[in-house]
Amino acid sequence: MAKCPKCGAEVTTPIKEWDARPNLHVRLYEHCSKKFREYGKK
């Protein structure tokens, strides 16, 4: 789960997910008409 940078609400469902590198997983979220990413290890 990620927090919206504009309002601070918890966003649970990413609109897109992909692997940037073998151990880097990226999730794209959208909330308050703002898109933001969350990075994490696999």
**pLDDT at 39 > cutoff 90:** yes
pLDDT tens per residue, range 8-32: 999 999 999 999 999 999 999 999 9
In the chain, where the domains are located: 2-41
pTM of the model: 0.84
**What is the average pLDDT across 29-40?**
96
Please provide the distance, in angstroms rounded to a whole number, between the alpha carbons at the two ends of the chain. 15
Given a cut of 90, whether residue 42 has pLDDT beyond it is no
* Single-letter amino acid code for the residue at 42: K
Which residue in this structure is represented by tokens 């880097």?
A: 24
3-state secondary structure the chain: CEECCCCCCEECCCCEEEEEECCEEEEEEEECCEEEEEEEEC
